[in-house]
Structure 1
């Protein structure tokens, strides 16, 4: 019975991974296709990577998307951490229900609704206050940070909910100021959650198409917008090459982040064991 169950679980695991990563592997393979037709293999070639490097439109859109994603992730982590700490540490306060709804609203709201509402906000603000002067990179950053901070707030709140509050209270009782407690105790504990939130915000911003289409302006087309406009005329192996490079970069970043988080967690566990050993020795 146990062997049959293990075979069934292994089969489900294989089919699951094949379903998830099979299309990505085929995309990587066909990025080295000689033919212009992505469905016809005509031999191994790397010419599409050369054409991709020479394509100014895609390169400028890629650099713009990377800048937007980086700034968005930093803003989302900063604001999301504040929101998460307010929800996890300040208990019941007046307006908590409304505040929680405003924070978690972007998680369940369709991207179309968020895009239209932000577009109306920017248009109205430009008419009444003259800000922003035109839609472009700043409006995309504001729009992306609006829904990315919701994910960071949920991650930080979940992490703080599992942290023993007595550690922070003991530091306060010993005379440490709140900001000292945060940077010395709280921040190292929630650092993995902040890294996870930053990476998630970066990925969501880099991947967004719908919201950016509403709030962008002339000359501020992001990479997903350019790719979408090109694939409407047919998928080119150059797009496959671009996707392969993105997959490689993301894979390397995830591996590095995983290794750093694993080492940080090992150091934290070692410090805890040393502290317990010293306390038992004393």
Structure 2
């Protein structure tokens, strides 16, 4: 099993979100995949099984468990595959359904990838669950941005969206990791998507990820897709729109995620970024 290491949503190895990539995991069972992911210690590792029809079966593992979908590992996988086999279109067969990914080269020669999410949706977070979440984050409700109401958003995984009223609030991340992990397990939330709006189409983001065994995820493509669906569903964008998400800066691993939000209700959200081999 050849294990590759990439950082997604950055061309700087010191930025973005590291992911493991195995381009041929044929014959490996879930226990072996989990062991590899745990040894690597990245928030996710993608395991690819090529199929006879040209599509790619993909499974994603954090150091602690299998996850249904991972955006940054998808971008890393697509870039790694394109470097081996050339740019073009891929079809990933994942636990959440089929995810198309397109790869291409920019003017600087770097390969970038764009995934199209499954249909996104969002739901209101129950008042009791929201109160518990804010208590564990140690964020008073008065510190939130009332124009971006809390919701649980989905585009493959569920991510509560909590909007800070200031950049300073977003910068202060100090939560009860075991208790938040327990709440997220009960609610089947994958990460907590904490955002601050710089402008209508520019956001700064942090992602708490205790279920993956890490305090914070540096760049989260699946959550970015869910957030794009959230913005469209709540009428917070002039559509179609391109949204820029800055993530990882507070961790010292800056990355940039480009989110394209089509006007058609229910259509997949496109998430784009580059990746660099580590």
TM band (smaller chain): under 0.3
Higher relative contact order (CA 8 A, sep 6+): 1
| Larger proportion of helix | 1
User: Scaled by the length of structure 1, what TM-score is found?
Assistant: 0.25
Between Structure 1 and Structure 2, the one with more strand by share is 2
Find the structure with the greater CA-based Rg.
Answer: 1
